[in-house]
Amino acid sequence: MIDRITPEARRIARPDAVLRGEEDGVGPTVLLLHAGGERRQVWTPVIDVLVDAGFRCVAFDQRGHGDSDGSLRALAPCADDVAAMLRAESPGCVVVGASLGGLATIAALGDPAVRARVAGLVLVDVVPDPEPHRVRRFLAAGGMLDAHSEIVDDILAQLPRLRQIATELDMPVLLVRGTASPLLGDDVDRLLRLVPHATVIPIRGAGHLVARDQPERLAETITAVASEWPALALLRALDTGQLAHPGGNLFDHLQRVRDLVASLGGGRRVRLAALCHACYGTDGFPHPLLPLDRRTRLQAAIGDEAEALVYRYAACDRNQTYARLGATPLLLTDRFTGELVALAAADLADFALLTIANELDIARTARLTSEARRDIRALVTALASYVPDVAVRALTDPSLR
């Protein structure tokens, strides 16, 4: 668990409203948009889990709700509000939208410039084209239809446009549905036809308001699925798919190394670092994707702890550092600054795991001489004192025999 800070108040002035909210935590940003009739505080138990998992969370009261003013009569102003929230953040946000929040987000994503700022979308028990009779019946049963008939009519009139926008979503999309929700039926199948790459995860014991019914399970689902979305969005923006690398291109290599780290038991920090380990270049791949004065961009995508590991891996002067392998702590020579940095405990284990996974992928995909394969085996053997089980598994890989 990380040290918590006091949530910071947020304010966005719109032409006809002032939106008020708050932010909490550090790391990749998750923007949370509540359902109609709710307030931002509904996200508090979700935020508690996400912040402890290393995310920065931003939640606003939507217009006409809670501390935000403005009228709630049509979807377009709500969508414009979402766009304003996203423009106030660095690119690469994960957006979580429940019911009205999800519909407003889809409408906002109709603008390609807004869409480019989003790393992925989590829809909480809402689809782009809910069945109108089912919606009206649900709202009437809760006594909400008469009070909100104007915006309900407007939203239902926008469904063809929302369906069209959904077909244009070129980002990861997750639908979290409550298994006890009365709102989603064959709507889910329609979503998958509109967005074939979408993922659907049911949450048992939850109705339509999943954040109220199962907040911890919802937060765990977001963490498990969306952790890598900001990193992947950054790698695409850096055109890693266009850079040649053994086995195809750099984007594919980075994902394979991430998968190897996961298969070898690496935790979230080292998995994220594996996915971005080439961002500053390395001693063996001198093609930095980001200059070192842009470290904040990578920190925003993967968090400070994972970025620190990426930096150490990139900064490693291999000739000098590898000569010391086996020592604990390991003195790493920083090729950028010339400093000596002592690596020990989890930092050293993660550095060793990342190094082994990267070399193993090269052994599997590159055309190497026998001498080069012997050098990789020797390197893995030298790292074995830091991650013995990982080294044993790597040395039995056919590419290193």
Question: Mind listing the pLDDT tens digit for each residue in 117-150?
Answer: 999 999 999 999 999 999 999 999 888 888 889 9
Sign of the alpha-carbon dihedral angle for 263, 54, 123, 91: negative
Residue 247 vs residue 271, higher pLDDT: 271
For residue 32, CA distances in Å to 52, 117, 173 come to 16, 15, 15
Position 2 pLDDT exceeds 60: no
As given in the structure block, the two tokens for residue 242 are 């266009």
Q: Encoding tokens for residue 30?
A: 């998750």
* Residues paired with residue 13 on neighbouring β-strands, in sequence order: 18
Tokens 């109709």 correspond to what residue? 110
Q: State residue 285's pLDDT score.
A: 87
Confidence at 5, pLDDT banded by 50, 70, 90: low
pLDDT at 333 over 90: yes
What pLDDT band is residue 1 in, cutting at 50, 70 and 90? very low
SS3 state at 194: helix
